[in-house]
Amino acid sequence: MKIIILALIISISLHFLAFYNYGNKEFNEKKNKDEIIEKKSDVKFVKLKKKEITEEIKNTPEIKKNLEPEKTEETKKVEKLLNKLSESKTQKKEIEKTETKKIEKIEKRAEVKKQIDVTQSKEFQEKVLKDQIIKKDDSLQNSILENFLSQKEPINKEILNELEKLYGEEYQTFTKVQKAYLEKNLNNFQVITQRVLTRLGYPPLAAKLKIGGANVIEFMFHPDGSITNLRVTNSSGYEVFDKYSLELIEIAYKDYPRPTTSTKLKFNVRYQLY
């Protein structure tokens, strides 16, 4: 019995020692871990700054050589080509500048020449006009007007034929200005006269007798708008129409286009019942 109790005590003490050792071991391990973590947390990170190179240091020949990359043969060739291109561009610009300057000079000379020619022509024209005014000669003005009108063809061949029938050989004695005036306005004279006739009405006696006809009227028409030598050259055969035509012209001529020189007018006045 004593042996069993002793053995029990020994086994309990052994278990107690084993448990105690195990507890100490865990405690020591935990302590070591905490110390390692504390050491790690104490570590400070320091940012290293690059050493700035000042311009004075950069400009030193030794550092400059180290900083600049070594140029290969290819890079040298490329640089040469670029330099040549830049030189050619500058040359082209200089050539263009010189050419533009030359063109501007030529244009200025041409403008000056034109101005001189214009002034000279104006002076010449003024001189000629002054001479003509002093001499009181209208020949220059008439010759210029005649030349201008002679360049134009007649308005209509029918009008020209009618004028030649009315005037006969006398038409060839007229000036170019007079011919141009007649060719342009023959129809206007007849239209204006017929308009006045419709406004005044058909002659009452002729309307009663139911007769019609035509006559030719002639008179001198002047630039101031006056008329002279009004007469009937070709009678209609009826006195009533001849007298009525003279009365018509006395009213209608005020609306006729005026000539630049005194001109003989000659045209038909027709009477027809509708």
> Mind listing the pLDDT tens digit of every residue in the chain (274 residues)?
778 888 788 878 777 777 766 666 666 776 666 665 555 555 455 555 555 555 555 566 655 555 555 567 777 777 777 887 777 677 667 767 766 776 777 677 767 666 766 677 677 677 766 665 555 555 555 555 555 444 445 457 889 999 999 999 999 999 999 999 999 999 999 999 999 999 999 999 999 999 999 999 999 999 999 999 999 999 999 999 999 999 999 999 999 999 999 999 999 999 988 7
72 — phi, psi (to 5°)?
-85, 175
Judgement on whether residues 190 and 225 belong to the same structural domain of the protein: yes
- Which of 104, 137, 170 finishes a domain? 137
Judgement on whether residues 188 and 245 belong to the same structural domain of the protein: yes
For the record, the structure tokens of 133 come out as 């005014």
Judgement on whether residues 128 and 189 belong to the same structural domain of the protein: no
| Residue 10 is assigned to a structural domain of this protein | no
pLDDT recorded at residue 149: 46
| Residue 213 is assigned to a structural domain of this protein | yes
Specify the DSSP class assigned to residue 48.
P
Residues 89, 90, 95, 98: is their CA dihedral positive or negative?
Answer: positive
pLDDT recorded at residue 26: 67
- Which of 137, 169, 200 finishes a domain? 137
pLDDT recorded at residue 236: 92
Judgement on whether residues 164 and 118 belong to the same structural domain of the protein: no
Tally of domains within the chain:
2
| Residue 46 is assigned to a structural domain of this protein | no
Judgement on whether residues 167 and 252 belong to the same structural domain of the protein: yes
- The CATH number covering residue 184 comes to 3.30.2420.10
Judgement on whether residues 131 and 233 belong to the same structural domain of the protein: no
pLDDT recorded at residue 97: 72
| Residue 6 is assigned to a structural domain of this protein | no
pLDDT recorded at residue 148: 47
User: What are the residues whose beta carbons fall under 8 Å from the beta carbon of 244, sequence distance 6 or more?
Assistant: 203, 206, 271
pLDDT recorded at residue 90: 75
Angle between helices 157-167 and 176-200 (to 10 degrees): 90
Residue 156 amino acid letter = N
- The helix or strand, by DSSP H or E, that contains position 6, with its residue range, turns out to be helix 2-41
| Residue 53 is assigned to a structural domain of this protein | no
Domain holding 194, by residue range, is 159-271
pLDDT recorded at residue 224: 95
Judgement on whether residues 131 and 163 belong to the same structural domain of the protein: no
Judgement on whether residues 167 and 266 belong to the same structural domain of the protein: yes
pLDDT recorded at residue 151: 44
Judgement on whether residues 174 and 236 belong to the same structural domain of the protein: yes
Judgement on whether residues 210 and 164 belong to the same structural domain of the protein: yes
| Residue 16 is assigned to a structural domain of this protein | no
| Residue 27 is assigned to a structural domain of this protein | no
Judgement on whether residues 128 and 225 belong to the same structural domain of the protein: no
For the record, the structure tokens of 100 come out as 């533009």
| Residue 223 is assigned to a structural domain of this protein | yes
Judgement on whether residues 167 and 100 belong to the same structural domain of the protein: no
Q: How far is CA 68 from CA 56, 64, 86, 238, in A?
A: 15, 6, 24, 125
